[in-house]
Amino acid sequence: MSEQVTVTTGTPDTGNSAPRRRGRPGYDLEAVLRVAVEVFNERGYDGASMEDLSKRLGIAKSGIYHHVSGKEELLRLALDRALDALWEAAERARTLEAPAIVRLETLVRDAVAVLDARLPYVTLLLRVRGNTEVERAALARRRAFDALVASLVEEAERDGDIRADIDPKLTARLLFGTVNSIVEWYRPGNSAASLADAVCTIAFDGLRVRK
């Protein structure tokens, strides 16, 4: 999964191929964003102030405003890191030439990979409650993602591949509830692929041994 960095203000690309993070660390947008997400996840977005970020980064607030217009833009950029990656996975699942059940399994695996690659951003996304414009926009994108999952489940039910005795919306919620719950304990560096295997095995084939 490629890391797409959306730089909206500051630090124009000079075309210089040398590493950009020279000199004192913590000054480029990427570093500011990484620390902002850390602080948002620890204190909650509402509880975190630009003052907190400035202290944690060890730079003046003006050093942050050089990159972004404020806290809400940091939130938007951070949430987009999670949402863009999940949406990319959803697009892949939507357009793959395969039965719906295979596309659903692929989406589960890709979502676990996104979670592994962008854990703090996904964690932040899953805690969003909709108190601001930016949060409501993020929730709308999450709902669109959930709707796609439910439609894949529905299609797989019509194909006769997934049990039809549970409402597709509920199935979709429980399936991605399992995936999302991983953020509560996962530490990147574990094997994301074998974790994805475990999730798919339990969800699609069940825990019970057939005798």
In the complex, the residues that contact its own copies under the rule CB under 8 A are 42-44, 46-47, 101, 129, 160-163, 165-167, 170-171, 173-178, 180-182, 184-185, 195, 198-199, 201-209, 211
Q: Minimum distance from CB of 85 to its own copies (Å)? A: 20
Q: What is the DSSP letter of 16?
A: -
Closer residue to its own copies in complex, CB, 124/199: 199
Q: Minimum distance from CB of 166 to its own copies (Å)? A: 5
For residues 125 and 110, what is the distance between their CA atoms, to the nearest angstrom?
17
Closer residue to its own copies in complex, CB, 13/185: 185
Closer residue to its own copies in complex, CB, 65/204: 204
> ∠ CA 54-127-57 to the nearest 5 degrees?
15
Q: Minimum distance from CB of 87 to its own copies (Å)? A: 20
**Which two three-digit tokens encode residue 72?**
């809400």
Do 85 and 117 touch, CB atoms closer than 8 A?
A: yes
Output phi, psi for 127, to 5 deg. Answer: -100, -5
For residues 15 and 84, what is the distance between their CA atoms, to the nearest angstrom?
25
Q: Minimum distance from CB of 41 to its own copies (Å)? A: 9
Closer residue to its own copies in complex, CB, 22/163: 163
Do 120 and 41 touch, CB atoms closer than 8 A?
A: yes
Q: Minimum distance from CB of 134 to its own copies (Å)? A: 18
For residues 59 and 118, what is the distance between their CA atoms, to the nearest angstrom?
25
Closer residue to its own copies in complex, CB, 31/50: 50
Neighbours of 87 (CB within 10 A): 16
